[in-house]
Amino acid sequence: MAIKEVLMVRILIWDLPTRLFHWMLAIGVLAAFGIAQFAGEDSPLFPYHSLVGVILGVIVLLRIAWGLAGTRYAKFCSFLFSPLSVIAYMKGVATGGGVRHLGHNPGSSYAIFLMLALVLLIATTGLLMGGGNEAFEDIHSIAAYGLIAVVVVHVAGVLIHTIRFRENITASMFIGTKQGEASESIQSAAPISAAIFMVVVSVLAAGLFRNYDVAARRTTVPMTGIVIHLGEVEGENGPTQHKPGNDD
């Protein structure tokens, strides 16, 4: 019986939006956590921790939207795995065997869902704390350390996978390609969607930093008038609607 030979070539797996979200989240989480660790709450740098947190929350919301409407390997449905699949993958890693996944593997998929959920929780509790809801401080702190723990496990998993299977999956998240069959490639890197996402994030970030009031430790969300307090504020009930003429 003849065996069909499979031609392996460099194919496009990760579109531009997925790669941008990945690295923006990585840089943002490290920046926010670093500021929180090395600058006290009274430090003039601390509000920037909150600013980055707000931006990260929006990036996650955009990633969720892309996980529903993006390209093949960006969609959440492409990396929904059962716990048994994770166990099988871990056994494969331990023995050097197992099934190769062009997209996210079962181990990384659970880490991704956890990281997205934790970033949203951290951003939400941060906003609530800024509105004077100190009851959320412990949740915010636990979620932040939980996120870092998941990141460390994820990075360790990437290193183990790279060594075990001799596949540089970190490089693939930069260039977007992997070895595979031509039929498994996505058709486009979705540059227009990537440009739209970048404009949204850039406009939001620029507006938040431009509207930042150092003395009051607050900023206004561009084009919405919503005021966000960057730090714990006594006597507030949450993010408030900015009214023209009431500026300090």
Alpha-carbon distance of 38 to 100, in angstroms, equals: 41
In-domain check, residue 93: yes
Residue 133's pLDDT is what? Answer: 82
In-domain check, residue 157: yes
Residue 8's pLDDT is what? Answer: 79
CA atoms lying within 13 Å on the CB side of residue 44: 4
Alpha-carbon distance of 148 to 157, in angstroms, equals: 14
CATH classification of the domain holding 155: 1.20.950.20
Mean pLDDT over all residues of the chain?
A: 88
Tokens of 147: 């996120």
In-domain check, residue 149: yes
Q: Tell me what percent of the residues of the chain surpass a pLDDT of 90.
A: 67
List of long-range contacts for 101-108, beta carbons under 8 Å, 24+ apart: 102/13, 102/73, 102/178, 102/180, 102/184, 103/13, 103/72, 103/73, 103/78, 103/79, 104/73, 104/78, 104/79, 105/79, 105/161, 106/79, 106/81, 107/157, 107/161, 108/79, 108/154, 108/157, 108/158
In-domain check, residue 122: yes
DSSP 226: E
Distances (CA, A) of 86 to 72, 105, 160: 21, 8, 15
Residue 35's domain comprises 9-195
Mean pLDDT of 208-219: 94
In-domain check, residue 242: no
Mean pLDDT of 221-234: 81
Tokens of 58: 């929006």
pLDDT tens column, 149-172: 999 999 998 998 888 878 889 999
**Worst-scoring range by mean pLDDT, 18-32, 53-67, 218-232?**
218-232
How would residue 232 be classed by pLDDT, with cut points 50, 70 and 90? Answer: low
In-domain check, residue 90: yes
Mean pLDDT of 37-59: 91
| Contact between residue 228 and residue 128 where contact means Cβ atoms under 8 Å apart | no
Q: Is 27 helix (H, G, I), strand (E, B) or coil?
A: helix
Q: How far is CA 229 from the centre of its chain?
A: 23
Count the domains in the chain: 1
197 closest CA partner among 62, 60, 6: 62
Mean pLDDT of 76-83: 94
Q: Is the pLDDT of residue 245 over 60?
A: no
Tokens of 136: 């959320």
Tokens of 161: 């996978």
Q: How far is CA 79 from the centre of its chain?
A: 16
Mean pLDDT of 100-122: 94
Helix (H) or strand (E) holding 227: strand 226-229
pLDDT tens column, 185-199: 999 999 999 999 999
In-domain check, residue 206: no
In-domain check, residue 201: no
